[in-house]
Amino acid sequence: MKPGYVRRFSRTERTFHWVNAIGFFLLLATGLILYLPSLSADVGRRPLVKDVHFWGGIGWVAALALVAVLGDRSGLLRTARELDLFDREDVNWLRRRQPNEQARFNAGQKLNAALTAAFLVLFLVSGLLLWLGERDTRYRFASTVILHDGLLYASLVLLVGHLYLALIHPATRHALHGMVLGTVREDWARKHHARWDSGGRG
Amino acid sequence: MAEAPPRLQPLVTVDERGAPGHDDSRRIGRGVFLATVAGGLSSLYWGKAAWSHVSNALGGVEAAVPLVPTGGWRIYTVAATMPTFDPATWRLRIGGLVEHPQELSYHDLRALPQASQVSIFHCVTGWSVNGVRWRGVRFKDLLAHARPLTDAHAIQFVSAEQPYVDYLTLAQANLPDVMLAWEMDGKPLPREHGAPVRVVIPDMYGYKNVKWVAEINLVHQAGSGYWENLGYDRDAWVGRSNGYTS
């Protein structure tokens, strides 16, 4: 670890994040080809794109499961617990009140994680229902396609916010360093995550 | 699919697993997760109704500025590429059990008696588009010159998008709001909607509304079309087929 840096994300956490990101963008690209009429007309090959979208989705979830099983499982569980728990200062942070010093994750990041996970589950269930419904009327619901499309719009809102904070916003974009290399500057951590006990400081 | 409401534990004080010195922690993360999943799954019951309320409430606005970039349509195709339309070379063949087989150019087709209508379009996968404005020709007028033989009871529609094919009985094709349309919402039928002509039968799901119609054959009786060979109903009445009861 470089001097002046502290470790924020383990290798397993980073792999989990990037597998999720790659899966999301693969499904977004193929999904938009299936969804937008002008793209559908230009690209064609709908049966092939549909197969890539469906099996890509299965592969995405399988890859996430594989990372969890083969990686540092207990570390991931500890992280999930951190994301689950909101204390008084987290609530204050959301309400723009004091005191609101944050630990390793701020309350916005915790909400983003909960919604991202929920959207993944709902994408998976509605996608499976669309696939099954094409084969068997018992799985056919009139609202499945509306749920799947609605999730697209909802997750685009989250994605735009996430990309803005990770790539553009000057105060927060250093977080990307943590998600790529695992470490963040100690002074940045003190400022934005003052209550985070990072263990061995560098 | 109606999940039991998630048992949230929003106010539980967490023991040694909480951050040290902060025993006021609440499990809000899982609450947000479970509530979102439960809300999403429950929308399988109310989603379509809610969406049509929203788009009805916005009726006029949505015509000018669609809520979604697709205008509510999804484009389903089965072949590698979408057919392209060249007005100079395009021909519609009318054959099978008729007295006078015909080949109509795009110009010939547009010279036939015109009909127009505003109708709703339902897809078997659940989405619908309200108030689509169609212009085209009724089958009675389209077939007046070719003259179906007395033992012809159905029409086979062969799409330029191979291998898509489907059938309507003559009785279905002669319902008052059924047509072969060449104009949609005031503009020539766009490529992705079947340019230059498609079948419009609002009382049946979209897969009976064959796009890119290239050939019309009169036959003894209706056979199985593309999706019917994959298990969908031959008589695709909206709300009364394909597992739906309304």
Task: Give per-residue pLDDT as tens, B134-158.
Answer: 999 999 999 999 999 999 999 999 9
d(CA B238, CA A168): 49
**CA pair distance A108, A105, nearest whole angstrom:** 8
Per-residue pLDDT band at B57 (split at 50, 70, 90):
confident
- What is the model's pLDDT at position B23? 63
Gap between the Cα atoms of B184 and B200, Å rounded: 11
β-pair partners for B184: B134, B187
Average of per-residue pLDDT across A150-172: 96
| CA–CA min distance A187, chain B (Å) | 22
Residue B73, helix vs strand vs coil: coil
pLDDT digits (tens, 9 = 90+) for B79-130: 999 999 999 999 999 999 999 999 999 999 999 999 999 999 999 998 889 8
Bridge partners, B95 (sequence order): B217
Residue B200 CB-half CA count within 13 A: 29
Chain B nearest-CA distance from A5, in A, is: 23
Residue B73 sits at the chain A interface (C-beta within 8 Å): yes
pLDDT of A17 above 50: yes
Structure tokens at B82: 């979408």
Of A108-122, B43-57, B128-142, the one with minimum mean pLDDT is: B43-57
- From B172, B158, B160, B167, select the one nearest B232 (Cα to Cα): B167
Contact status, residue B202 vs residue B190, Cβ threshold 8 Å? no
Give chain B's largest Cα–Cα span: 92
Q: Is B145 left (phi over 0), alpha (psi -120 to 50) or beta?
A: alpha
What are A164-184's pLDDT values in tens digits?
999 999 999 999 999 999 999
Name the band, by pLDDT with cuts 50, 70 and 90, for residue B58.
Answer: confident
- Give the contacts of A36 (CB within 8 A, at least 6 positions apart): B69, B70
Q: Quick one: A162 exposed, middle or buried, by C-beta within 10 A (0-12, 13-18, 19+)?
A: middle
ipTM of predicted complex? 0.94
Question: Does residue B186 carry a pLDDT above 90?
Answer: yes
CA angle, residues A29, A35, A37, in degrees to nearest 5 = 115
Give me the residues paired with residue B27 across strands: A85
* A/B interface, count of CB pairs below 8 Å: 151
DSSP secondary structure of B167-195: EEEHHHHTSTT-EEEEEETTEEPPGGGTT
Question: Among A34, A45, A83, A85, which would you mutate to test the B interface (most chain B Cβ atoms within 10 Å of its Cβ)?
Answer: A85
Q: How far is B176 from chain A (nearest CA, A)?
A: 27
| Span A7-21, average pLDDT | 97
Tell whether the model's pLDDT for residue B64 goes beyond 80: no
Residue B66, pLDDT > 80, answer no
Closest listed residue to residue B205, CA positions, set B76, B23, B114, B55: B76
CB-CB contact of A197 with A25 (8 Å):
no
Phi and psi torsions of B181, nearest 5°: -100, 140
Interface touch A142/B36, C-beta < 8 Å: no
Distance in angstroms (rounded) separating the CA atoms of residues B8 and B30: 8
pLDDT of residue B6: 47
Q: Check whether B25 has a pLDDT greater than 70.
A: yes
Are the beta carbons of B28 and A121 separated by less than 8 Å?
Answer: no
One-letter amino acid for residue A50 of the chain: K
Q: Which of A118, A138, A146 sits opposite B51 (nearest CB)?
A: A146
- Contact list in A for residue B25 (CB cut-off 8 A) is 85-87
CA-based angle B214:B234:B124, to the nearest 5? 85
Q: Model-level pTM?
A: 0.87
Amino acid at site B36:
T
pLDDT level of residue A197 (50, 70, 90 thresholds): confident
What is the four-CA torsion angle of B105, B110, B114, B115, rounded to 10 degrees?
80
Q: Which of residues 180-199 of A touch B (CB under 8 A)?
A: 195
Is the pLDDT confidence value at A93 over 50? yes
**Contacts of residue B210, Cβ cutoff 8 Å, sequence gap at least 6:** B157, B159, B164, B165, B166, B194, B198, B199, B225
One-letter amino acid of B77: T
Burial class of residue A8, CB neighbours in 10 A (0-12, 13-18, 19+): buried
- Residue A201 pLDDT > 70: no
- Per-residue pLDDT band for B13 (boundaries 50, 70, 90) equals very low
Mean pLDDT of B72-80: 91
**Residue B224 or residue B130, greater confidence:** B224
